[in-house]
Amino acid sequence: MRIVKEHDERKNEIINTASRIFAQKGYDKSSVNDILTAIGIAKGTFYHYFKSKEEVLDAVIDKATDLIFERATVVVENPELSAEDKLLGVFMAMRIENQMEEGFLEEMHRSENALMHQKSLVSVISVLTPILTQVVKEGTEKGVFRCEYPEQYMQIFLASATTLLDDGIFEAPPEKQAGLWEALIVLLEKMLGVAPGRFLSRVSE
């Protein structure tokens, strides 16, 4: 058991160090040697855990996505929350700025870090789609929602929100961002077959 623990500790050390370096220098400007130097390990040790810098990037993104998944799971498993509150709670679970390496999310949104950005968006959409689908299906069974395509609609909504509201993809002044967010919420209401303003009034509070 101790060998497994040491293996996991070393792997996590590499992931955490890579996350910090990517935040400081950007993914493209970072190298495997930067990670080796920061930790003080040999190249062979690094390649024992990861095949490449991109594989470490995948692990860093997985760490962020796992955090979102854990936060979202807590929300959907809360029996005291309504279907609407669960849905909005899952969206709020995506806000992990204070729990990631300082500067990592900002760096990820830079145009020169397109690969890191793209991978993160795909990962978040893949993880949250089934969670949101479950919430919508449960809400539909209870008569709260009327949604014929829960999985497809949630995937479409996530893909739209995570790209259109992303400054690293679409730069827009605050007032346009606000208008776009409002339009997305109205679209969500239509997707779920709820009364106009049902979600908009909640997010505006």
Residue 33: predicted pLDDT: 96
- Report the chain's C-alpha Rg in angstroms: 20
Q: What is the pTM of this model?
A: 0.78
H-helix or E-strand spanning residue 29? none
Each residue's pLDDT tens digit, 9-23: 899 999 999 988 988
More confident of the two residues 185 and 203: 185
Residue 28: predicted pLDDT: 84
CB-facing half-sphere around the CA of 185: CA atoms within 13 A: 20
Q: Is 28 exposed, middle or buried (0-12, 13-18, 19+ CB in 10 A)?
A: middle
User: Inter-axis angle of helices 2-25 and 53-76, to 10 degrees?
Assistant: 100
159-169 burial, b for 16+ CB within 10 Å, e for fewer? eebbeeeeebe
Of the candidates 178, 133, 126, 131, the one whose C-alpha atom is nearest the C-alpha of residue 153 is 133
Q: What CATH number matches the domain at 58-203, 1.10.357.10, 3.90.1150.10, 1.10.10.1800, 1.10.1060.10?
A: 1.10.357.10
Each residue's pLDDT tens digit, 45-60: 999 999 999 999 999 8
Using CA atoms, how far residue 133 sits from 96, 126, 136, 140, 156, in Å, is: 22, 11, 5, 10, 12
CA distance 37 to 193: 55
User: Inter-axis angle of helices 32-39 and 2-25, to 10 degrees?
Assistant: 120
CA distance 177 to 196: 20
| DSSP summary character for residue 143 | T
Residue 204: predicted pLDDT: 60
* Structure tokens belonging to residue 49: 């855990």
Whether residue 135 contacts residue 199, with contact meaning beta carbons closer than 8 Å, is answered with: no
Residue 191: predicted pLDDT: 95
CA distance 147 to 139: 9
Residue 103: predicted pLDDT: 57
CA distance 160 to 149: 16
